[in-house]
Structure 1
Amino acid sequence: MSISQPSQTMEHQPFFDVIQERRSVRSYNPEVKISREELVEILRQATLAPSAANLQPWRFLVIDTPELKQKLLPIAFNQQQVVEASAVVAVLGDLENIRMAEKIYGQAVEAGFMPADTAKSMVEHYTGMYSSMPPEAIRQIAYTDGGLVSMQLMLVARAKGYDTVPIGGYDKQKFMETFRISERYTSIMLIAIGKAAKPGHPTVRLAVDDVAFFNEMSKE
């Protein structure tokens, strides 16, 4: 049995270096271009993130042409990283992602991860469950899973020597209209990716004692 080797394009950095060196970078070198091949590899690694029932509701619109980045600029309230970065990845949530259940579980059968009858049962179960869920619950799942894949994308980019910044400050409705994205999708965030022209500034974090509680919450 052959064992697949890691992609030769991936950098090998200690994990804790990656998470400690990641910064939200807002100033990019506009001369640096990331190839489509490498962007695809970053997205492929990002999509190894977990998702509810493995339904993977994330979708990506990669914006990397100067013309479209200029079109995005006013929608993102003129944040210059939108045009300076090599690309902007719009992370979307597919509110009808249950449509992919048969394909996903079919691939699991082909890979030998589960028997066909189990896959059929799971498709039927989740299709029935999603059909009875309120739209807001499905939207919440898309946001949760979209957050997971977004963080993974930023860490993968850092491991490959690139910088990112998540952008929540933009006109989502205008974005959807301008880029002709149907109501099947919800816009979760934008992520600028490229090479920093100026390093992201260091930040502080609350102590674990301030944010974590064991077995019961503080009454304060």
Structure 2
Amino acid sequence: MEFDDAVRTRRSVHEYSDEAVDEGTIEAVFERVRYSPSSYNLQPWEFLVLTEDGNRERLQEVAYGQEHVADAPVAVAVLGNTDPSAHAEAVAEDQLRKGYLPDEEAKEGLLETIDGMAERDETENRVWTTRSTALAGMTLMHAARAEGLSTCPVGGFDGDALQAEFDIDDQYEPVMLVTMGHAAPNAADTNTPRKFRRTVDDIVHREEFDPTEAELEDEVLTESYATQ
């Protein structure tokens, strides 16, 4: 699927068919996810992928009983490592080998900078990892759509309960959940009108910032609502 089609036809789907998602497709999705950008290329994300019924039901419990968390054949907990230095050595060494850093001294300077980040307070590093990990979460949804799958981001869940239920270390910030699978025939898809989106003029500010309020205008519906 072309990227433009993947973006325009993506929907937040709550109803999934019984069709399983094979391991090769899941692997292909995450092969794309790993190319997501991140601060200093530190790649703080980790993903807990749940395909077994019992485990998705456990996840549903910490997601306030939302049915699609268990109904989808795949559920993903998107986690961010709050320690910026966790992968720093490999990242810095890679940059040295490929010429992004001129010498060993520059590498050590980068590592010192990242160590300084790691020493910040917990709140700062939770925000830091959420920013980068959320990028990977969006890549996950677009990559899944490119494979013909549907997804839904889930923000309603108890992060502490998630960590306790699945024995996730406190070092990891639960950023979001994502359900994934083949949409049921009656699910929201490209044959239904797309929900309201603000216009480019509403969201883009040139040279100076001037907040705007959303205005709903009549749209001309076409046979393919995905383009709206």
Q: Structure 2-normalised TM-score?
A: 0.83
Aligned to 1:119: 107
User: Cα 1:120–1:35, aligned 2, differ >3 Å: closer, same or farther?
Assistant: farther
Q: Distance in 2 between matches of 1:67 and 1:14?
A: 35
2:200 aligned with 1:212, yes or no? no
Query: What SS class does the counterpart of residue 98 from structure 1 fall into?
Result: coil
1:53 pairs, out of 22, 31, 40, with 40
Aligned to 2:129: 142
Deviations 1:113-137 (A, max 9, x none): 555524333223322x214422212
Q: Distance in 2 between matches of 1:63 and 1:45?
A: 19
User: Cα 1:72–1:120, aligned 2, differ >3 Å: closer, same or farther?
Assistant: same
Deviations 1:144-191 (A, max 9, x none): 111111111100100110110000011222111111111111110000
RMSD over equivalenced CA pairs, Å: 1.9
2:63 aligned with 1:71, yes or no? no
Identity rate of aligned residues, in percent? Answer: 29
CA contact (8 A) 1:27 1:80 kept: no
Q: Distance in 1 between matches of 2:156 and 2:118?
A: 32
Query: What SS class does the counterpart of residue 151 from structure 2 fall into?
Result: strand
How much has 1:109 moved relative to structure 2? Answer: 4.2
Q: Post-superposition, which runs of at least 4 consecutive aligned residues in structure 1 deviate over 6 A?
A: none
How much has 1:37 moved relative to structure 2? Answer: 3.4
CA contact (8 A) 2:84 2:117 kept: no
Q: Distance in 1 between matches of 2:63 and 2:204?
A: 34
CA contact (8 A) 2:47 2:76 kept: yes
1:173 pairs, out of 160, 168, 174, with 160
Q: Distance in 1 between matches of 2:44 and 2:119?
A: 18
Amino acid of the structure 2 residue aligned with 1:70: E
Paired residues, what number? 206
How much has 1:212 moved relative to structure 2? Answer: 2.1
Deviations 1:11-66 (A, max 9, x none): xx222111000000000012x22233332321121121110000011111111111
Aligned to 2:187: 199
Any unmatched runs of 5+ in structure 2? 213-228
2:16 aligned with 1:28, yes or no? yes
Q: Distance in 1 between matches of 2:26 and 2:91?
A: 23
How much has 1:108 moved relative to structure 2? Answer: 4.0
Amino acid of the structure 1 residue aligned with 2:66: Q
Query: What SS class does the counterpart of residue 86 from structure 2 fall into?
Result: helix
2:91 aligned with 1:104, yes or no? yes
Greater displacement, 164-173 / 101-110: 101-110
User: Cα 1:67–1:111, aligned 2, differ >3 Å: closer, same or farther?
Assistant: farther
